[in-house]
Amino acid sequence: MNNPNPNRTRTRTAAPRLCTPAELAALVPDGATVAITGAGGGVIEADAVFAALEQRFLTEASPAGLTLVHALGVGDRRSRGTNAFAHPKLVRKVIGGHWTWSPEMTRLAADEEIEAYVLPGGVISLLLREIGARRPGLVTTTGLGTFVDPRQSGGRANASAIDTLVELVAFDGREYLRYRPFPVDVGIVRGTAVDPNGNITLAGEAAQLDALAVAQAAKASGGIVLAQVQRSRETPLHPQDVHLPRFLVDAVAVVPGQEQTYLGAHDPALCGDAPAPAYEPAAASPVRRLIARRAAEEVRTGDVMNLGFGISSEVVDVLAERGRLAEVTICIEQGHTGGTPLSGDMFGVCGGPEITVPSTTQFDFFTGGVLDATYLGMAEVDAAGSVNVSRIGGGIIGPGGFIDISQSARRVVFCGQFTAKGTRLTVADGSLRVEREGEVGKFVAAVDEVTFSGPQALARGQEVLYVTERAVFRLVPGGVELTEVAPGISVERDILPHMGFTPIVRDPKVMDPALFTTSTR
Compute CA distances 47 → 38, 175, 270, 301, 428, whole Å: 10, 40, 19, 41, 47
Residue 300 CA to residue 309 CA, distance in Å, equals 21
Residue 216 CA to residue 10 CA, distance in Å, equals 23
Other beta carbons less than 10 A from residue 58's beta carbon: 10
Residue 272 CA to residue 254 CA, distance in Å, equals 23
Q: Is 321 a catalytic residue?
A: no
Task: Give CA angle at 43 (40, 48), nearest 5°.
Answer: 100
Range 458-473 burial, b when 16+ CB lie within 10 A, else e: beeebebbbbbbbbbb
Is 363 in contact with 405 (CB distance < 8 Å)? no
Q: What is the DSSP string of 219-264?
A: HHTT-EEEEEESEE-SSPPPGGG-SB-GGG-SEEEE-TT--SBTTB
Phi, psi of 140 (to 5 degrees): -160, 160
Which of 512, 295, 303, 509 lies closest to 413, judged by CA? Answer: 295
Catalytically annotated residue among 45, 205, 333, 380: 333
Pairing of strands 304-307, 329-330: parallel
Which of 169, 229, 163 lies closest to 199, judged by CA? Answer: 229
Residue 363 CA to residue 69 CA, distance in Å, equals 18
Pairing of strands 336-337, 355-356: antiparallel
Catalytic site positions: 333
